[in-house]
Each structure stands twice: as structure tokens, then as C-alpha cells.
Amino acid sequence: MDVKKVDDFYFEIKPKLAFSLNLKELVEYKELFYFFTWRDVKVKYKQTALGFLWAVLQPLIMMVIFTFFIGKAMKVPSDDMDYPIFAFSGLILWTVFSSGITNAGNSMVSNAQIIKKIYFPRLVIPISSILVSVFDFLIAFLVFIVLLLVYQQPIHFVQAFILWPTGLVVAVIATFGPGCLLAALNVKYRDFRYVIPFLVQAFLFLTPVIYPISIVSNPWLKYLLALNPMYAAITIFRMPMMNSAPDMTLLWVSLSSGVILFFIGLTYFRKTEMYFADLA
């Protein structure tokens, strides 16, 4: 065997590697992201009569309910938009977060059989679960476009081209942090399988999905709500439909909170992943 070939594959297996992101390895396994996401999407819609429609129906029905009870009955304002547009734009992004952290949070446990039998970068699993939610978002997004046409919502096109994708990326980052954190914690403490649904439900009301943050008058309460990383994602996504600019301070608070959570989640996951196979 020639020397170069030997060097190419040289590696050591040691007790505990120092913390490293090891992006190179993640890139090596890029196809696995695709296959896991593809598997979950396929399995999710197999043997369902309505198939991909489910990705649309859930936010759509929620939107109808909220329009009647929150928009019409309680007359909650909706930042220059028709309330259905306001609610749906919030809900489709919210669904990325809620289904993303639910699936990511349970992903390590539900893939325990694979984790115990084969090595690959463990991050592939929660990230792929989040990508499944992104896929659902893309389908629901088409319906969103239809709704915009139906309600003849005026849009800033240039902003939309930049801010819609930005909103999605911010939402994915906001989902990634808590998702990875919960995935890792769930392996060790199964209590978190009860925490996750509760968390998702509570956060729906703590996120300006169905009401604008402007109805909160107490400034401190506003900052508290802005700590929620999804606030930024939803606000950025709605900006092309709004006439007035959002409060930039609140936006930065929310963005920073998302990035900090991202690194907390990533670090904790990376630190504990070596022992997943022993605990799962």
C-alpha cells in the first residue's frame, strides 16, 4: 500500500475528542441529509389519501379559526393586512418551528435503532427533521401566494424577494437551536417528550403569530416577547406586506436570541452526541 493512501485514511478513535464542529465531515455526509429528509417526507405522506394537502390544511384551518375568533370577534389588529393574510403568513412559519422542534426533539429517540448500529455525524438526524418542515413550508407557501392574490394584498416585490427567504432562514436557525438541544436532552432525560408538546403550545401564544406585537403596550413585556427567536422570523417575513417599518431594536433582540440559542443547541448536541448510543 503506498504511503499517500495510508495517510488519506489515517484516523484515531480516542476516548473524548475535544469539541469541534467538524464541518468537513458533515459535508462528506451531505447525501445522508437528503436521504433522511426524503425518507421522512415519503413516510409522512404514504398511505394518506390527501397526501401533501395535509401540509396546507393544518395552517389553513387554523387560519380560518383564528380569523373568526381572534380577527372578527375580538377585533385584534393585523398590521395593515387582511387578518387572514396576517394569520396565515404567521402560521406557516410558525409550523416550521413547531413541527421542526417536535420532530427534531424526538428524532434521536425514534432513530435509536440506527444510532446504535452505525456511525455517521449525529447532527444529520435533527437537521433532516427540520428540513422536512421546510419542505412542508414550501408547499404551504404556494397556497400563501394564492391567498395574496385572492385578497389582492399589495406587496413590495423587491422586499419580498429578499425578505421571504430571509424569514425562512431565520426561522430555520430559530428552530435549529431548541431542536438540537431538545433532541440531545431527550436522549438522556425522556421527560422532554412531555415537555416538547407543552412548549410548542405555550409558545404559540408567546409569539406574535395571531396578534401583532404592537398591541402589547408595556415596553418590558415587548422585549420579553422579542426574546422569542420566532418573532424576528415572522416579522421579517411579513415586512413586504406592511406599510410601516417594524421596531428594529425588537428585531435585533429576537435575532440575537435565535443565534445564541443556535450555538447553545449546537454545542450541547456536539458535546453529548458521543454517548447517545450508550443511552438511547
Partner 1 sequence: MTPILEIQAVSKKFNIHHEGGPYLSLRDKITGFAKFKSSQKSDEEFWALKDVSFNVMPGESIGIIGKNGAGKSTLLKILSKITPPSSGKIISRGRIASLLEVGTGFHPELTGRENVYLNGSILGMRKKEIDARFEEIVDFAGTEKFLDTPLKHYSSGMQLRLAFAVAAFLEPEILVIDEVLAVGDAEFQKKCLGKMEDVSKSGRTILFVSHNMSAVESLCSKSILLKNGQLHFSGSSTDVIQQYMNSLDSQALDKTGVILLDDSNKPVRKVEILCDGKNSGTAYMGCKLEIRIYFKSDEKLDAPVLGIILKDSQGIPMIGVNNKNYVGNLASQPVSDGYISMTIPYLTLFEGTYHADIHFGNGFKDIEVLRDCFQIVVESISFTTSGELPDKKLNRLFIKDIAWSLNAK
Which residues contact partner 1 (rule: CB under 8 A)?
1, 6, 9-17, 31-32, 35, 39, 42-43, 46-47, 113-120, 188-191, 274-275, 277-279
Q: Which is nearer to partner 1, 31 or 218 (CB)?
A: 31
d(CA 103, CA 176): 11
Q: Smallest distance, Å, CB 121 to partner 1? A: 10
d(CA 102, CA 49): 24
- Residue 60: alpha-carbon gap to chain centroid: 19
In three-state secondary structure terms, 108 is helix
Q: Smallest distance, Å, CB 16 to partner 1? A: 6
Q: Which is nearer to partner 1, 43 or 61 (CB)?
A: 43
Q: Smallest distance, Å, CB 280 to partner 1? A: 8
Instruction: Give, in order, the Cα–Cα distances in Å from 274 to each of 34, 111, 263, 266, 268.
Output: 23, 15, 18, 14, 11
Q: Smallest distance, Å, CB 113 to partner 1? A: 7
Start-to-end CA span in the chain (Å): 39
Angle among Cα 35, 44, 205 to the nearest 5 degrees reads: 110
Q: Which is nearer to partner 1, 106 or 235 (CB)?
A: 106
Instruction: Give, in order, the Cα–Cα distances in Å from 207 to each of 118, 163, 204, 213, 242.
Output: 39, 19, 5, 8, 18
Q: Smallest distance, Å, CB 192 to partner 1? A: 8
DSSP character string of 115-177: HTT--S-TTHHHHHHHHHHHHHHHHHHHHHHHHHHHTT----HHHHHHHHHHHHHHHHHHHHH
Q: Which is nearer to partner 1, 42 or 75 (CB)?
A: 42
Q: Which is nearer to partner 1, 6 or 158 (CB)?
A: 6
Contact 252, 227 (CB under 8 A): no
Q: Which is nearer to partner 1, 78 or 128 (CB)?
A: 128
Q: Smallest distance, Å, CB 186 to partner 1? A: 10
C-alpha cell of residue 97: 418551528
Q: Smallest distance, Å, CB 112 to partner 1? A: 10
Q: Which is nearer to partner 1, 40 or 136 (CB)?
A: 40
Identity of residue 75: K
Q: Which is nearer to partner 1, 183 or 241 (CB)?
A: 183
Q: Smallest distance, Å, CB 60 to partner 1? A: 26
C-alpha cell of residue 179: 431542536
